[in-house]
């Protein structure tokens, strides 16, 4: 240390920088600052991973919602076929011709309403699935924004650290 003092002199800039890096508090400051920068970036990466997992879960949910709507529409179609079979059997048992007149009109109207119900069920399922997929896209965007924000924050912290060192005369 004495040799360094003689070589650089007490007032030289190189000596001040050297003393800064030999000071235990300065070393701790630099190490902790670097750790803080790293943790900021790691936090952003973790947020992005969580957002990607949430988006994946929302896409799966959208698929399940669409499948459930299709199943409900199939159940409605089966229900209508059973109902029509019962009505046809009841008409035939009472001697009414199903192929013409009022029974035919009633059957056609019921079939039409059943088709509307099935289409409505499928449309509602498609709407729910679309909402889930859209939410997944938003979740992915939030993750990317969190990661970008962490990078920006780390760069800001690094610039602040450099500015502090420069204003103290170390750089």
User: Tens digits of per-residue pLDDT, 42-83?
Assistant: 888 999 999 999 999 999 999 999 999 999 999 999 999 999
163 or 59, higher pLDDT: 59
Q: pLDDT category, 1, cuts 50, 70, 90? A: very low
Q: What's the average model confidence in pLDDT over 158-163?
A: 76
> CB neighbours of 154 closer than 8 A, spacing ≥ 6?
37, 40, 41
> What pLDDT sits at residue 13?
59
C-alpha to C-alpha distances, 139 to 58, 115, 133, 146, 161, nearest whole angstrom: 9, 36, 10, 11, 33
User: Tens digits of per-residue pLDDT, 137-149?
Assistant: 999 999 999 999 8
Residue 40 has pLDDT above 90, yes or no: no
Distance of alpha carbon 13 from alpha carbon 24, whole angstroms: 19
CB atoms within 10 A of CB 165: 17
Residue 2 has pLDDT above 60, yes or no: no
> What pLDDT sits at residue 120?
95
User: Tens digits of per-residue pLDDT, 82-135?
Assistant: 998 888 888 888 887 777 778 788 888 989 999 999 999 999 999 999 999 999
Burial (0-12, 13-18, 19+ Cβ within 10 Å), 128 = middle
User: Tens digits of per-residue pLDDT, 22-34?
Assistant: 666 666 776 777 7
> CB neighbours of 46 closer than 8 A, spacing ≥ 6?
none
> What pLDDT sits at residue 23?
63
Residue 27 and residue 123 in contact, taking contact as beta carbons nearer than 8 Å: no
């Amino acid at each position: 240390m004495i040799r360094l003092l003689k070589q650089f002199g007490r007032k030289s800039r190189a000596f001040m920088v050297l003393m800064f890096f030999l000071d235990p508090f300065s070393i701790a400051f630099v190490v902790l600052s670097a750790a803080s920068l790293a943790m900021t970036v790691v936090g952003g990466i973790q947020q992005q991973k969580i957002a990607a997992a949430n988006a994946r879960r929302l896409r799966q949910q959208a698929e399940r919602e669409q499948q459930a709507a299709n199943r409900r529409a199939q159940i409605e179609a089966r229900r209508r076929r059973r109902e029509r079979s019962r009505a046809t059997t009841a008409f035939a048992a009472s001697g009414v011709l199903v192929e013409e007149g009022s029974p035919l009109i009633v059957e056609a109207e019921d079939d039409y309403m059943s088709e509307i119900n099935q289409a409505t069920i499928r449309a509602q399922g498609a709407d729910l699935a679309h909402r889930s997929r859209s939410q997944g896209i938003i979740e992915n965007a939030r993750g990317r924004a969190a990661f970008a924000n962490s990078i920006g924050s780390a760069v800001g912290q690094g610039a602040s650290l450099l500015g502090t060192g420069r204003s103290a005369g170390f750089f």
